[in-house]
Structure 1
Amino acid sequence: MVGGGIAGLAAAVRLRDRLPAGARITVYEQSGALGGKLRTGSLAGATVEFGAESFLVRDPAGGDSAAVALARRVGLGDALVHPATGRAALAIGGELRPVPPGTLVGVPGDLAAVAAVARPEPERDHDDGRPLLGPDEDVTVGDLVRRRLGGDVVDRLVDPMLGGVYAGRADQLSLAATMPALARAARTEPTLTGAVRAAQAAAPRPPGGPVFATVTGGMSRLVAAAAEASGAEIRLNAAVRELVPVSGGWRLVVGPARDPELVEVDAVVLALPARPAARLLAGVDVAVGALVGRLDYASVALVSFALPARAAEALPADLSGFLVPAGEGTLIKAATFFTTKWPHLRRPDGTLLVRASIGRYGEEHLLHRSDDELVSAAHRELADLVAGAGGGVPLPEPVASHVQRWGGALPQYTPGHLDRVAAARAALRNAYPTLTLAGAGYDGVGIPVCVRSGETAAEDIVKAWEAARP
């Protein structure tokens, strides 16, 4: 495994389950820690996620998500906890307005349901007797929604929701990659509202239950448990600088150029972001490297606050967080009220934990400020944004804060992304079946998707070995 994020660790666990006893599995991680964007820290004595905070409980077919299955596989099934029921809001015009229910990532099937937040243009969404998209067509989310429902729905609903997940913009993100259910429905339905309703109707409806989960003690527990369950040799601070096909397998060039280590292995899972993966692939197949390397990334910063108990008077008691449309002109694009959202994080002394997210694609210059400047700006904006909901009570200064920067963290899937990934994988499968790709750069963001990506990459290698047996 080249890459020790959750995709690489999930691949290692799956290989451990599928390979004969005694098989040697090694995870090479360039940094000094496993987990990638899963990182648990401490703030004012409280456990806080400095990266991804939760994962979906269900998969698209309605069963347990791959993240839930992995947690159970590594002995953390009893450590899963769920958020309290709470509402999310949109910060519009100085007010926190509830996110309308029933949308598909902000795209409404019922225009009346979003009237309090946005002004749809229903006359645009006429039935002209043919599907919205051709069989293989992919467009940006913004292009389709603007064309059918107008810019207000994009700017006030869809864009902030996509920004919260991808730190990207609706006018640049692929519909097929970010909203696959809607893309499928758009290939048969003649109206966008009809496509939303069709996509929602086609989704499995498991009986009740929570939507999200996390791990008590933090996501880093899942990372550590997966590493242990894999039985892999973990090599930290071990950058793989070159990948060379050799007879019967691969040669890895690991470590500094002045003193490289040469390692020969039977197979490789590249569980790396697209850019470093493309650099390694360029020495194997230039065309594949170019396909993978086209993916760009957004950078973000997460500013966490520990606020004194009296901050409860300033914060909206019934909200788990809010999103901010880009047009509002704030540095903050989202905030999460951790101790409202997650009951297990509530402190006996009443300390409140809040996290603000900063950074959209194309706004990397805003992250060039110092940590102190980001903390000050985020706190000031947070105070302004919650002022109305908190009855005008000033938001007190934090007792502690932390800034986590994630450079190049979130993939920006432009139209055609899925086709490019499929072409890259097909080329590797034909020429180098023991080299596979895994991770968010290929299959989507979110912990369950990354886990499934790693497991699929591992299965592909097992199939390649089985096919090669005499």
Structure 2
Amino acid sequence: MARIVIVGAGISGLAAALEAAASSHEVVVLEGSPQIGGKLRLATIAGHQVDVGAESMLARRPEALKLLADLDVAAVHPAPVSASIWTRGRLRSMPRGTMLGVPADADSLRALLTDDELDRVRAEQLVRPDGDLSVGELVEAALGPAVVDRLVEPLLGGVYAGHARRLSAAAAAPALLTAARHGRALTEAARAASARPVTAEPPTPVFAGLRGGIGSLPKHLVRLLLDRGVTVRTGATVRDVAHVGSRWRITVGETRSPEFLDADGVVLATPARATSRLLDGVAPDASHTLGQIEYASMAIVTYAFATDESDVFAGSSGFLVPPVDGRRIKASTFSSSKWPWLTEAAPEVRFVRVSIGRHGEEADLQRSDAELAAAGMADLRAALGSDVPRPVAAHVQRWGGALPQYAVGHLDRIAAVRAALRPLPGLEVAGAAYEGVGIPACIGTGRKAAGAVLTHLGGR
């Protein structure tokens, strides 16, 4: 029986462990922090557990829903309530039929753009890029800067906590880039994406969550892993990975009293910079490339409001905020309105959260929790009016270095990392830094990495 070591117990590492556990090999998960789950986390606020990290996942990718089926856990979906964009001094309805902010019909943006800006959208220019470029450069060249500033920026800010004019189109908007390379208008691509055949079946919801919160997913996973004989250790910091003969030697713990663990296969499911440090001695080229990936920090402030004072949040799932408007928050989610299970679980309060922080704007987070909570409340009142009540509780969750930034050329860099690791069979990498920051993409990288290790070990 071989031993497979998974480094990192975020969703990528746990998914890798589940894949590896399907074999007869020993599987060990090592997590340096005191708790599992990575960016999936629950906290108790006003007596109830709610998400203070990721709170939804794409339902139109198969990886997460397949994992839920393996766990025998049912997905839940958001309520059919509208969302808005807070721009130019007021909340405006989110336009329908857009593809990452690119409209299928210019007139759908009438509430957001001026007449001159709409005329620029109607006069779309064809863009034929040879290689990669930023999402903002692509959309601005085709439709003008206003679409980037008022739509693309807030949408990408919600996913990456980044900036549209720095994020790779090949990585973050592949469908738009492919359309442009084939000489198609971006609005044509958006129309094609929004056109669905008429069927008797209702459309698949875009997003999914879990009753009890997405933060409960790691606990479901670990319960199954333990049932399958997997060892899961927290507080086990991995300091080195070395190639010793045909096996791997993992150094765990403090330098003055290290523990050595030998393995036949290893999956590094850690953030890019941590993976870079661990690869330094065995794959220096891959280590150097991963070390160049930058990360964004952010904070999520969650408020609880008394239900009988919370009418101002009814009928909406929240709003996005374009950075061009100069606000402190970049989005707000009316969690109790968005997730019916949360209203059922906590009928006496309504939960609302705001997110603060984008890539390169860490100075905005160098304030106390009380100051961040006050800043979030000030923007909520500016957006919704003075009817926003005083919260009965507030919680600040800081996520330092949480989201990798897919800079222009990202896919080429990841291909180079994988090429550099190819001469080292049995060593794989997984996580948000590679092929997508969303939960389904992370699950996919974890299972793929573990599958490659099993193939190397002949465990299929």
Tell me if TM exceeds 0.5: yes
Partner of 1:428: 421
Structure 1: which amino acid aligns with 2:146? D
Residues 203 and 447 from structure 1, CA distance in 2 versus in 1: closer, same or farther, beyond 3 angstroms?
A: farther
Partner of 1:333: 330
What SS class does the counterpart of residue 222 from structure 1 fall into? helix
Which deviations, in whole Å up to 9, do the C-alpha atoms of 1:288-321 show, x marking residues without a partner? 1111111100000000000112332333x22101
Alignment of 1:307 with 2:331, yes or no, is no
Measured in 1, the distance between the counterparts of 2:264 and 2:123 equals 56
Instruction: Describe how 1:309-458 pairs up with structure 2 within 5 A.
Output: 309-315=307-313, 317-346=314-343, 349-387=347-385, 393-429=386-422, 431-458=423-450
Partner of 2:213: 218
In structure 2, stretches of 5+ residues that fail to align are: 1-5
In structure 1, stretches of 5+ residues that fail to align are: 60-64, 388-392
Q: Which moved more, 1:196-205 or 1:81-90?
A: 196-205
Q: Which moved more, 1:194-203 or 1:417-426?
A: 194-203
CA contact under 8 A between 1:124 and 1:150: conserved in structure 2?
no
Partner of 1:37: 39
Partner of 1:67: 64
Measured in 2, the distance between the counterparts of 1:239 and 1:203 equals 51
Alignment of 1:117 with 2:112, yes or no, is yes
Alignment of 1:272 with 2:270, yes or no, is yes
CA contact under 8 A between 2:53 and 2:215: conserved in structure 1?
no
Q: What TM-score do the two structures reach when normalised by structure 1? A: 0.91
Measured in 1, the distance between the counterparts of 2:164 and 2:110 equals 20
How much has 1:198 moved relative to structure 2? 4.6
Structure 1: which amino acid aligns with 2:18? V
Measured in 2, the distance between the counterparts of 1:232 and 1:349 equals 38
Question: What percentage of aligned pairs have identical amino acids?
Answer: 45
How much has 1:196 moved relative to structure 2? 3.2
How much has 1:344 moved relative to structure 2? 0.9
Residues 202 and 180 from structure 1, CA distance in 2 versus in 1: closer, same or farther, beyond 3 angstroms?
A: farther
CA contact under 8 A between 1:46 and 1:345: conserved in structure 2?
no
Moved over 4 A (4+): 198-207
Residues 190 and 57 from structure 1, CA distance in 2 versus in 1: closer, same or farther, beyond 3 angstroms?
A: closer
Structure 2: which amino acid aligns with 1:181? A
Residues 202 and 241 from structure 1, CA distance in 2 versus in 1: closer, same or farther, beyond 3 angstroms?
A: farther
How much has 1:185 moved relative to structure 2? 2.0
RMSD of aligned alpha carbons: 2.0
Residues 74 and 382 from structure 1, CA distance in 2 versus in 1: closer, same or farther, beyond 3 angstroms?
A: same
Structure 2: which amino acid aligns with 1:53? E
Residues 32 and 203 from structure 1, CA distance in 2 versus in 1: closer, same or farther, beyond 3 angstroms?
A: farther
Q: Which moved more, 1:164-173 or 1:102-111?
A: 102-111
CA contact under 8 A between 1:107 and 1:158: conserved in structure 2?
yes
Q: Which moved more, 1:200-209 or 1:343-352?
A: 200-209
Structure 1: which amino acid aligns with 2:143? L
Residues 208 and 332 from structure 1, CA distance in 2 versus in 1: closer, same or farther, beyond 3 angstroms?
A: same
Structure 1: which amino acid aligns with 2:33? S
CA contact under 8 A between 1:167 and 1:298: conserved in structure 2?
yes
Partner of 1:288: 286
Residues 333 and 170 from structure 1, CA distance in 2 versus in 1: closer, same or farther, beyond 3 angstroms?
A: same
Alignment: residue pair count:
446
